[in-house]
Amino acid sequence: MNQAKLYFNIQNKDLRQQIKACTELSRFSLIEDVDCADWPTRLSQLAPPVAIIELVNFSEQDYQTLNSLKVLDDMDLIIISQGEPNPHLDKLMQIGAIFHYRTPLDIQVLNETLEEINQLYSEKVTKGQRVGTSDLDQFGLLVGSSAPMHRLYRQLRRVAKTEANVLIVGESGAGKELVAKTIHLASQRSQQPFIAINCGALSPELVDSELFGHVKGAFTGANKTHQGVFQQAEGGTLFLDEVTEMPLEQQVKLLRVLETGEYRPVGAQAAKLAKVRIVAATNRDPQQAVEQNYLREDLYYRLAHFPLTVPPLRERGEDIVGLAKHFIAYRNANETQHKTIHQAALEKVANHSWPGNVRELKHTIERAFILADKVISTEHLIFEAPPLETGSSLEEIIPAGVALEEIEKAAIIKTLNVNEGNKTETAQDLGISVKTLYNKLDKYQE
């Protein structure tokens, strides 16, 4: 099998010798640059799968070169530096799967990193020759082979093993909860519980009890002791979905737990240790959410030790069609069917902008799968409820015989799209509570 190419640019002689003695390095085919300071340009020209760079200077221009060429999408980059703060490097750390090691270098850690990279590279090469029901790569519960998804996988691999709090940012339906579960599964805590809670759906009267639990008799109606989510998730991961939809006065309670590592069930005398890892998610831009008073700045800094962005489906290129085929393959397997999809329908799928992301794609394909006898064609792909034209009534637009559930689903998806995924506004527009909206969304995902 071909060895993976490794671009090697270490200016310091002693450091170079030290790294070259690393046993795992011999598994790569080395491209060495000893006196070239412009490594960003060299990386963009060579696009190797792996690179080890000694960072001496890193400018805004270097950052722009790497960012604009998207060269990092398919690369594992190992940076070695003396650890001086550098804002351009901080920005870079957020766009790729980059390992940053400080000198004096721990050779054992570098060796392990190279071993892991080599293993994944070999798997990728062999996998390319296999043919399965779904052609897409998978990491944890996430499916997708596009460059932005690979970049996300590499970031997930790195963060999962740490104990850092994570803030997942992405549009509605892009897969934030799946990312959170994948982090949990790839972490040391995978055998412990994963508990998800929708912060936007917590009722103001019961928020303390839902988060921290209560003891029997703590308040009228507290007939028995109740475990809050912090206790339910003990030892595992607590997923705080839609964290920016939690009222600010409640966010302060979360902040306190994150700061002190303790919480107190309502009515209890003693505090308990919060032994959970926090993974939070939002579909708002976090900086904007802070400016617009949806998110406390201090809570943002506590949560976002490691911010992760889930790319919207429209930016995942071939994954759109790949995922459509993937969902059909799974339906076929579950229902022992052999339905196929027409090329024109695949083109329609590829050309749609998918504002509701993977959730919308999944629902559209599942609906089409039900409607089609053997071959899914363009008329089976119904993207959303047709817009109401002036003068036309709902009765005129809705075809007779459509299941009520389908109409309800379409109304919800359409309203969510109009409100850019904001569930509080969507629930208001639909005249239901946020909790009911969540229940309905859960039901549709089954």
**Which member of 40, 175, 200, 355 binds ligand ATP (CB under 6 A)?**
175
Record the tokens describing residue 161, joined without a space. Answer: 């093993």
**Which member of 9, 146, 155, 283 binds ligand ATP (CB under 6 A)?**
283
Q: Which residue's CB comes closest to ligand ATP? A: 175
Q: Which of residues 89-108 bind ligand ATP (CB under 6 A)?
A: none
Instruction: Please tell me the distance from the alpha carbon of residue 358 to that of residue 174, in angstroms, as a whole number.
Output: 5
How far apart, in Å, are the Cα atoms of 420 and each of 356, 413, 435?
Answer: 9, 10, 18
Residue type, 49: P
Specify the residue, 392 or 436, whose C-beta has the smaller distance to ligand ATP.
436
| Shortest Å distance, C-beta 446 to ligand ATP | 9
Q: Does 49 bind ligand ATP (CB under 6 A)?
A: no
Specify the residue, 66 or 427, whose C-beta has the smaller distance to ligand ATP.
427
| Shortest Å distance, C-beta 143 to ligand ATP | 4
Binding window for ligand ATP (CB under 6 A); candidates: 4-12, 31-39, 122-130, 169-177: 169-177
Where residue 350 falls (left for φ over 0; alpha for ψ -120 to 50; beta otherwise) is alpha
| Shortest Å distance, C-beta 119 to ligand ATP | 23
Q: Does 286 bind ligand ATP (CB under 6 A)?
A: no
| Shortest Å distance, C-beta 142 to ligand ATP | 4
Count residues near ligand ATP (CB under 6 A): 18
| Shortest Å distance, C-beta 271 to ligand ATP | 31
**Which member of 71, 92, 174, 385 binds ligand ATP (CB under 6 A)?**
174
Q: Does 422 bind ligand ATP (CB under 6 A)?
A: no
Binding window for ligand ATP (CB under 6 A); candidates: 21-29, 167-175, 249-257, 338-346: 167-175
The sheet with strand 5-9 has its strands ordered as 29-32, 5-9, 50-54, 76-81, 98-102
Instruction: Please tell me the distance from the alpha carbon of residue 136 to that of residue 322, in angstroms, as a whole number.
Output: 6
Query: Are the C-beta atoms of 199 and 176 separated by less than 8 Å?
Result: no
Specify the residue, 48 or 175, whose C-beta has the smaller distance to ligand ATP.
175
**Which member of 40, 173, 265, 311 binds ligand ATP (CB under 6 A)?**
173
Binding window for ligand ATP (CB under 6 A); candidates: 172-180, 184-192, 205-213, 425-433: 172-180
Specify the residue, 92 or 313, whose C-beta has the smaller distance to ligand ATP.
313
Query: Are the C-beta atoms of 239 and 277 separated by less than 8 Å?
Result: no
Binding mask 216-255 for ligand ATP (x = CB under 6 A): -------------------------x--------------
| Shortest Å distance, C-beta 196 to ligand ATP | 9
Q: Which residues have CB under 8 Å from 396's CB, separation 6+?
A: none
Contact residues: ligand ATP, CB under 6 A: 142-144, 170, 172-178, 241, 283, 358-359, 362, 421, 445
